[in-house]
Amino acid sequence: MHYLHNLDLTEPILLRLVVATLLGGLVGLEREIRHKPAGVRTNMFICLGSAMFTVLSDELASKFVGDHTRIAAQIIPGIGFLGAGAILRERGTVVGLTTAATIFVVASVGMAIGGGLYWTGVFAALFIILMLVMVGWLESFLSLKTRRMVFRLTTPAIETTLASANLAFAEVNVPIQHFQVLHIGQDFLLEFEADVSFHQQKKLTGKISSLGSKFEIIPREVVSASTSF
């Protein structure tokens, strides 16, 4: 009987932790697909930790007679500190604000699940994913947001190709932020960095993809991640 009594108490708590972990993982999966810093594991741990602290805040207060919100109240400044670490200043612009905001709302999902508000937490998590996907798509479609991309072009004729590539960037009205030339065997690798919208990227692809034997476009953050140790 004592075992069954303890099982009845722990089952809802374990369920809350599992649900919080799954919801955090779903949000993190969207971030992982878009190559953002806070991915699946990060958001899983944030959501799980928030749920765990919310449960502990209530359980410990019931056991020792205290304030039921004391521990849970410290989640917000703790998450704020974590989110601040995701915000970076790069080349005169601030990046990571969406990641920090996502961390903040994922923590609130964990707190909702930890407090037993399952439907509230599930709805919030699904709504977060919907907003991230839909707003991101609208920003790209309407050219409201630019992204730092690396354009790589391999060619044996450097002077002609370079002149044509520069003309293509000028026609699309995209300033080149960084440029370098690498000598690879008998060919040259031209690498351009530029902040482009979705439509500008498509136009540039059409204009310069035929100038060399090999052409590729890579997000700048992916290049940075692959070259860091």
Q: What is the pLDDT of residues 99-140, one digit of tens each?
A: 888 999 999 999 999 999 999 999 999 999 999 888 877 776
Mean pLDDT of 25-46: 89
Provide the pLDDT for residue 5. 42
Share of the chain above pLDDT 70, in %: 83
The correct CATH number of 147-227 out of 3.30.70.260, 3.40.630.30, 1.10.10.1100, 3.40.50.1100 is 3.30.70.260
> How far, CA to CA in Å, does 38 sit from each of 49, 76, 105, 167, 182?
15, 18, 13, 38, 33
Residue 190 clears pLDDT 60, i.e. is over it: yes
Q: What is the pLDDT of residues 149-180, one digit of tens each?
A: 889 888 888 888 888 888 889 888 888 888 88
Cα 107 to Cα 114: distance, rounded to the nearest angstrom: 10
Phi-psi region of 91 (alpha: psi -120 to 50; beta: other; left: phi over 0): left
CB 151 within 8 A of CB 204: yes
Long-range contacts, 200-208 (Cβ 8 Å, 24+): 200/143, 200/146, 200/172, 200/173, 200/174, 201/149, 203/172, 204/151, 204/168, 204/169, 204/172, 204/174, 207/168, 207/171, 207/172, 208/151, 208/153, 208/164, 208/165, 208/168
Provide the pLDDT for residue 225. 54
List the single range of 128-137, 188-197, 219-228 with lowest mean pLDDT.
219-228
* Predicted TM-score of the model (pTM): 0.65
**One-letter amino acid of 22:** L
Domain ranges of the chain: 2-141, 147-227
Largest separation between any pair of C-alpha atoms in the chain: 85
